[in-house]
Structure 1
Amino acid sequence: MIVLPSIFRRHALITLLNLFGLTAGIAGFLMVSLYVAGELTVDRGFTGVDRLYRVGTRLSVGGNDIVLGATTPLLVEPLAQDFPEVEAVTRASEEDVDLQDGDRVLTTPLLWADANLLRVLDYPLARGDSATALARPDGLVVTPDLARTLFGDADPMGRTVQVAGGQMLTVTGVLKPLAETHLKFTGIAADSGRGDKNWAHMAAEQWSHIGETAVYVRLRPGASAEAVAARLPDFVRRRAVLSQLPDDVRQGFMTLRLDPVPSIHLHIKTFNQSKPGGDVGTVGLLSAAALLILGVAIANYTNLATAQAIHRAREVGIRKLAGARRWQLVALFTGESVALAIAGTLTALAVVEVLLPPFQALVGRPLGFSLLRDGGFLALVLATPLVVGVLGGLYPALVLSGYRPAAVLKGGTAPAAGRLRAVLVVAQFAISITLIIATVTVLRQVAHARTAALGFLPENLYVVSQLPHDAQRAATMKTELAKVPGIQGTAFSSLVPADISQFMTQLTVPGDTHGATPGKAFMPEFSADPDFIATYGLDLKAGVALPPGWRPAADGERRYVWLTEAAARRLGYAHPTDAVGDRYTDEEDHPVEVAGVLGNVRFRTARDADEALMFSVGATGGFLTVRLAAGDPRPALAAINALVDRLYPEARRAPRGFADDRLEAQYRTEERQAKVFAIFSALAIVLANLGLFGLTALAAARRTKEIGIRRVVGARARDIAWLMVWQFARPVLLANLVAWPLAWWGLHRWLGQFTVRVDQGPGTYLAAGAAALAVALATVAIHVLRVTRAPPASALRYE
């Protein structure tokens, strides 16, 4: 238990204000520190982690780049042969697998891996030998959770489980509880357990056939990753098997890179990654917000301590007359500050324990005090009260210790450090106003990005994903769904909202078009059935949805396509109507004719520009979209899901949900940022106004006799109220002049990542400033009313 010095007990109100402010600031700082520590420790527990790299791939076609974390599994032997710097190479492929245990089927993410995976990415084992666990062709290493799910409390070692439709796997190892990693799995199985799908059957494949395989290399001690990376372009030119690609595409099609494994989680974003990585921007914003809040708390303490100094002037004078030296007084007063910071830190740890679950939900990652075992974080916790106490208490200690005994014992006025207090109040409210503006702007941008310029109607669209391409079953599905009440339209396509798939096709544009640039052109191509336009509510700018007598094209027959306006512009057309009816040939020399031009469609995020898209009109696709009528959707959803399960039994666990939910998921990071800003904005305002409350109380106490005299000589209550209100309103008004340009600069840079964005009008800035001023004035008014209503005689008898 911390016993506070007697000065804290004598000035209980100020002590409580200081303790609350320090507790809030330190609690926010420690929670964010837990989050940052967790983010920075992902994938850092491997042996020789500074020498571990994942081989990443960039595919470039017609000016479109696709960044992948996967690469061709055929790299293993060539890398080992051509690069003596490479100590070990291994592969891992993520797949959701159905494991069958008797009549029970469990779908779980597995890693198919080389036998040496656990010697390169050495996840620790509780049971088994990492050197041999995957050497067996049926070897399976499981997490403790998967072991309990499959076998209960029985010993899992040596137990078997069958891959649905495949071979038996035998448990050869049990992992220890996993620290967070960029890979998503509950078990690791020997690749040979995939049967004819394993890597041994891919020897004749093209390097352009990239699936879900990640290749990891560990370099030898002292080897230079930069030197290896510099030789990768030549390695691709010599070794890559890309004979299926046209000559003009092959050059520059594939680029390899080395991604440091510890950087994957925060710094490397790739196409279609199975597990969302962290966001370095969120880490930075949270860190900055926490430091600002801690700074506000320290400024509060400094403000109140210096304002309170007048009450300790006689104490300082007596101590100096008794022989105390200045350094002793500085140590005494700074020690009091550190003691209060220690009390605040202990209280903050209790607050963190209570608030950690909702904070985990806010930031979207597990946190816990287990990180206290990390020496760095434990040192941070121990250092926090010392740093906070010294920063908050050193200046007031210097002010107090500088009093002259003769002056203060005669009743003279001690220096009050008013100029510093004014600066700190301005800084506190500038931080608060900046955070308010950021919160409102981020919320406005997220709301705007969800709905602005989508080019289709997202409401009441239900999407079923990962369906097999089967024209006959697709036709049956559409026929059956047409009979279900509450369904207004259905369409199959290979692209839906929030899908990140990318398929490129090469077109040959002849010279007799109506304005298109002749030559080769690359275009993102997706399939869509004839009802796609009506189901999504797309805007047909020119042409027709379907030519008369349309039917699905057989192999080699003419295909009809729709272009978006951006695609028409990319091809060189000045107006959408010019493109209608023009014909090209695709990369297999099949004829392609433009049936119509659609308004631009934004299926992805507002960070992306208007996409150039080409839709090939066909009969099927991997996604089913159903437009529901307004009203209760549950009966229609039950019918849709029942039909999907009956007609596509292999896709019973296919993802399904509403399109607007898929769109909202794209802005989860921004929503979290807005919530973080909102919480820290509220906390900053509370802390700033607590400090203002204390300053007002001290100011009113110091000016009690002055106020009494003014009342006696005829001053009205509103005159005195205006005098005090204006004293504290000026720094808040000045804070706006500091906060507005800072907020505009930061938000201008943040909004720059969006192609569709809100304007930074003056309304948000004025409202934020007015809100901060209103709260500050309300805080001051509490003391003003108390002082102005007191009888003048009481004020004149003060002291």
Structure 2
Amino acid sequence: MTVLPPFFRRHALVTLLNLFGLTAGIAGFLMVSLYVAGELSVDRGFTGADRLYRVASTLSLGGNVVVLGASTPLLAEPLAQDFPEVEAVTRASEEVVELREGDRGFDVPLLWADPNLLQVLDYPLVQGDAATALARPDGLVVTPALAHTLFGDADPMGRTLQAPDGQMLTVTGVLRPLAETHLNFKAIAADSGRGAKNWAHMAGEQWSHVGETAVYARLMPGASPEAVQGRFADFVKRRAVLTELPDDMRAGFLSLRLDPVPAIHLHIKTFNQVKPGGDVGTLGILSGAALLILGVAIANYTNLATAQAIQRAREVGIRKLAGARRWQLVALFTGESVALAIAGTLAALAVVEVLLPPFQALVERSLSFSLLRGGAFLALVSATPVVVGVLGGLYPALVLSGYRPAEVLKGGVAPAAGRLRAVLVVAQFAISIALIITTVTVQRQVDHARSAALGFQSENLYIIGRLPNDAQRAATMKAELARLPGVRAAAFSNLVPADISQSMGEFTVPADAHGATPGKIFMPEFSADPEFITTYGLDLKAGMPLPPGWRPTEKGGPSYVWLTEAAAKRLGYPNPADAVGDHYTADEGEVVQVAGVIGNVRFRTARDADEALMFAIGSSGGFLSVRLAAGDPRPAVAAVNALVDKLYPEARRVPRGFADDRLEAQYRTEERQAKVFAIFSALAIILANLGLFGLTALAAARRTKEIGIRRVVGARARDIAWLLAWQFARPVLIANLIAWPVAWWGLHRWLMQFTVRVDQAPLTFVAAGGAALAVALATVAVHVIRVTQAPPVGALRYE
């Protein structure tokens, strides 16, 4: 405290309130700045990052569009040949593989890559040569963390590991600790190390088989990405191998685009991406909330400084009589404000270091305190106390320096800047009330979306997949599952809750369908075995679960499907039950018959409308769903997992978990937003009321003699309480009139992204305003009690 100016030391309470408010506001601002800096720096460290693009695919069929981050690996060579603007092309394919070192196995996220990957995406090495590390057919580059896991403290260079197909890989390089990137890997291996599965063996394959390969291109300096992308349509028409598609489907089926690599993390969302990208919405929410908190802290300081002006009036008068000019007084008082902001910034840096780990958990991002030493961020930290100090202290300095010495010495100075304080108090509470409303509404929406009717029973539903699509093993699995205690039902399918798979079928609706619209239609189609309806507890609206005499090996007869109600309506049936029994022709001439219509199911988020789905009744699928009995599921889960490991040994690493957990994970972003709002709302309210606490303390001090006189003439404590309470309750009431429409408008826009959403309940708005008013009145009550408990004689003698 000794580093602060004398006036601050003499008024310790208000100084502590200001210091705490500035510390909290600056700490929140700096933590969010760290987060923003980290998010904006992703993938910007590559050489020529502004010329680096991912050549990605978009597939379109029957009005259904799938945006992919991958492309066919066959694209790379013709791309380099046909586009002189392309300086370099490389490929990378993400896969989790088991690498073995002796008798030990390790599951490793790995990139299979072209030899030049480290020259295009130039992740730096601490050992090895980027130009040659992947040129060897058995080359392997590892991160330092993986090297330590595999080999301990021994030098990893030259050590060998066995790949899944028996190929031996040799460590030829060690990466520096990785900064955040859009790719998910701990090792990079030469693609030739995959043996028969490498890209060289894919010549002649269809370009519609996109797979998991990302193709990267670095353009020549000065080359126009728009010009390159503008020629992609002709390039696809000339070069793409799409012979498996009918002629009328090829046009427009595949299109290519250039994704700027530095924009992938934050701005480009694709189907089935391996590593979740950043969230621009969360980034904006955090930035806005931090700026609001900093604004509340600055407003607090301005409020208290102007309210204290009367106590410094005599000091100003004496300084002016001694010859001080106004600009000197402005510099003095603004300097005091900057000094307090510097103390707050130093305290905030300590707070940031302590709170950074829980903040990282909140935003689900790894942040480094070392960013504080970076040039741009160091400049921000240095500028913050100056900007905050000037914004918070300049107006009070102008008010103080404007006092006239004669008026001051006669005691004729009135309290300064009352209107400004009223405006700032209103703004503080408007921010707090809006944040409370937003917090409550976001949490209500998350809870509502999770509990909204799904169309199936998600409790005790255990899901495993993806598994190899093998009808014989599937039949054995189901027979073995039926013998396990605690297992009630099981089904294989190609679609499960929270899965983002896309599968499109083409069907021709005949003219004699029962009211349906004749013609060709594309419909999302997935396979499901006969127990799918029972296992998921689906509502069969019409038809039957299984046609009589159905057999999985039946040949020559029609294939049977279930439709959801949305699918039946999309086919044009006025009454969905009319679809039962109708026949369609699939794209390869196969006859399809509708066995039944089930209620709509929501396997994805509440943002999505009821999906039109067709389930082809089959005998296998990529996912196994097991309905467990109520009670402790652990014994049954262990038994099911053991059986899966036994029958599908190659699928030991496939995801496994409960449907409820899968559904819950879909709302992680909204949950994170709700937590962010809750934390910053609480901080805003605390800061606003700390400011109010200081203002009421100063108001009570200024009116001590008045209160003493009122008590002597018979005023009761409640009369005095009303006198002070109404003075500070009015700004809160006005703040409600500002906060309510602003919060409603912002939340309306946010809620529109959900097809299932809550109403903006008036009770939420009233409760938020009431809570802010109650806290404000409680703050005032503290001072009222203190003042009314003191003897009136002391108040009458107060100067």
SS of the residue aligned with 2:533? helix
Q: For residue 465 of structure 1, report the CA deviation from its aligned partner.
A: 1.1
CA shift, 1:784, in A, is 1.1
Q: 1:399 to 1:555 in 2, by over 3 A?
A: farther
The 3 A distance-change label for structure 1 pair 736 and 714 is: same
Q: Is 2:470–2:620's contact at 8 Å kept on the other side of the alignment?
A: yes
2:2 and 2:9 in contact (8 A); partners too:
no
1:158 counterpart = 2:195: no
Is the 2:160–2:168 Cα contact (8 Å) retained in structure 1?
yes
In structure 1, the partner of 2:253 is 253
Q: Distance in 1 between matches of 2:82 and 2:359?
A: 49
- SS of the counterpart of 1:166? coil
Q: 2:128 corresponds to which residue?
A: 128
SS where residue 308 of structure 2 aligns?
helix
Residue 345 of structure 1 contacts residue 384 of structure 1 at CA under 8 Å; is this kept in 2? yes
Structure 1, unmatched stretches of 5+, are: none
Matched letter for residue 414 of structure 1: A
Distance 1:765 1:247 in 2: 58
Is structure 2 residue 689 aligned with structure 1 residue 693?
A: no
Distance 2:284 2:58 in 1: 27
1:173 matched to 2:173? The reply is yes
1:1-40 per-residue CA deviation (whole Å, 9 max, x = no partner) reads 9711111110000000000000000000011111111000
Instruction: State yes or no: 1:56 paired with 2:52.
Output: no
Decide whether the 8 Å contact of 1:403 with 1:414 is kept in 2. Answer: no
Displacement of 1:415 after TM fit? 4.4
SS in 1 for 2:205: coil
SS in 2 for 1:715: coil
For the 8 Å contact 1:556–1:590, the answer to whether it is kept is no
Q: Shift of residue 491 of structure 1?
A: 1.0
- Could you list the runs of 5+ residues in structure 2 that have no partner in the other structure? none
Verify the 8 A CA contact 2:541 2:596 in the aligned structure 1: yes
Matched with 1:221 is: 221
1:513 deviates by: 0.5
Match of 1:732, SS? helix
Q: Taking every aligned residue pair, what percent have the same amino acid on both sides? A: 82
Match of 1:66 in 2: 66
Tell me the residue number matched to 1:208: 208
Distance 2:632 2:156 in 1: 47
1:148 aligns with 2:148: yes
Name the CA distance, whole Å, in 1 between partners of 2:6 and 2:388: 21
- Matched ranges for 1:607-756 at <5 A: 607-756=607-756
Corresponding residue number in structure 2 for 1:139: 139
Matches within 5 A, 1:405-420: 405-420=405-420
Q: Is the 8 A contact 2:307 2:415 kept in 1?
A: no
Is the partner of 2:650 in helix, strand or coil?
helix
What amino acid maps onto 1:9 in structure 2?
A: R
- Match for residue 506 of structure 2? 506
The question of whether the paired residues in 2 share the 8 Å contact of 1:293 and 1:680 is answered with: yes
Paired with 2:641 and 2:557, the residues of 1 have a C-alpha distance of: 35
Aligned-partner Cα distance in 1 for 2:721–2:196: 86
Pairing of 1:83-102 with structure 2 (within 5 A): 83-102=83-102
1:749 aligned partner, one-letter code: R
Contact 1:553 1:559 in 2 (8 A): no
Could you tell me the TM-score, scaled by structure 1's length?
Answer: 0.99
In the alignment, the residues of structure 2 paired with residue 177 and residue 444 of structure 1 have an alpha-carbon distance, to the nearest angstrom, of 41
CA contact 1:318–1:405 (8 Å) conserved in 2: yes
| Offset of residue 553 of structure 1 | 4.8
AA partner of residue 655 (structure 2) = P
1:233 touches 1:255 (CA, 8 Å); kept in 2?
Answer: yes
Q: Aligned partners of 1:732 and 1:660: how far apart in 2?
A: 42
TM-superposed CA distance for 1:685, in Å, is 0.3
Report the secondary structure of 1:771's partner residue.
Answer: helix
How far the C-alpha of 1:472 sits from its partner, in A, is 2.0
SS of the residue 1:276 aligns to: coil
| Distance in 1 of aligned mates of 2:256 and 2:40 | 25
Letter in 2 for 1:72: T
1:63 aligned partner, one-letter code:
G
Q: In the alignment, is residue 344 of structure 1 matched against residue 344 of structure 2?
A: yes
Map 1:155-554 onto structure 2 (within 5 A): 155-554=155-554
Query: Residue 74 of structure 1 contacts residue 203 of structure 1 at CA under 8 Å; is this kept in 2?
Result: yes
1:203 CA drift (Å): 1.0
2:788 pairs with 1:788: yes
Contact 2:543 2:597 in 1 (8 A): yes
User: Cα distance, 1:711 vs. partner?
Assistant: 1.5
In angstroms, what is the RMSD of aligned CA positions? Answer: 1.0
Q: Would you say how many aligned residue pairs link Structure 1 and Structure 2?
A: 799
Q: Which amino acid aligns with 2:56?
A: G
CA distance in structure 2 between the partners assigned to 1:110 and 1:798 by the alignment:
77
- State yes or no: 1:46 paired with 2:46: yes
2:764 alignment partner in structure 1: 764
Match of 1:595 in 2: 595
Q: 1:178 corresponds to which letter in structure 2?
A: L
The amino acid that maps onto 1:196 is A
Deviation at 1:485, TM superposition (A): 2.1
Secondary structure at the counterpart of residue 745 of structure 1: helix
Letter in 1 for 2:791: P
Cα distance in 2 between the residues matched to 1:493 and 1:424? 60
- Mean alpha-carbon deviation: is it higher for 214-223 or for 445-454? 445-454
SS in 2 for 1:35: helix
SS at match of 1:513: coil
1:556 shift after superposition: 5.1
Aligned to 2:722, what secondary structure does the other structure show? helix
Instruction: State the 1:304 CA deviation.
Output: 0.3
Alpha carbons 2:165, 2:194 under 8 Å: kept: no
User: Deviations 1:676-719 (Å, cap 9, x if unpaired)?
Assistant: 00000000000000000000000000001111111122222211
| Corresponding residue SS for 1:28 | helix
AA of the residue aligned to 2:535? T
Match of 1:797 in 2: 797
| Secondary structure of 1:710's aligned partner | helix
Q: Is the 8 A contact 2:165 2:195 kept in 1?
A: no
Answer with 1-10 or 576-585: which moved more: 1-10
Taking the aligned partners of 1:199 and 1:555, their CA distance within structure 2 comes to 37
Per-residue Cα deviation, 1:71-90 (whole angstroms, up to 9, x for no partner):
01111111111111111111
The 2-side partners of 1:712 and 1:556 are apart by 105
Question: Please, what TM-score do these two structures have when normalized by structure 2?
Answer: 0.99
Helix, strand or coil: the match of 1:615?
Answer: strand
Contact kept, 8 Å, 1:310 with 1:414, in 2: the verdict is yes
Deviation at 1:101, TM superposition (A): 1.1
Q: Quick one: distance in 2 between partners of 1:472 and 1:90?
A: 40
Q: Kindly provide the CA deviation profile for residues 156-176 of structure 1, in whole angstroms up to 9, marking residues without a partner as x.
A: 111111102331111111111
Question: 1:553·1:618 contact (CA, 8 Å) conserved in 2?
Answer: no
Matched residue type, 2:267: H
Q: CA deviation at 1:628?
A: 1.4
Instruction: Give distance in 2, aligned partners of 1:256 and 1:683.
Output: 47
CA distance in 1, matches of 2:2, 2:315: 24
1-side partners of 2:535 and 2:228: how far apart?
A: 51
- Contact 1:59 1:255 (C-alpha < 8 Å) held by counterparts: yes
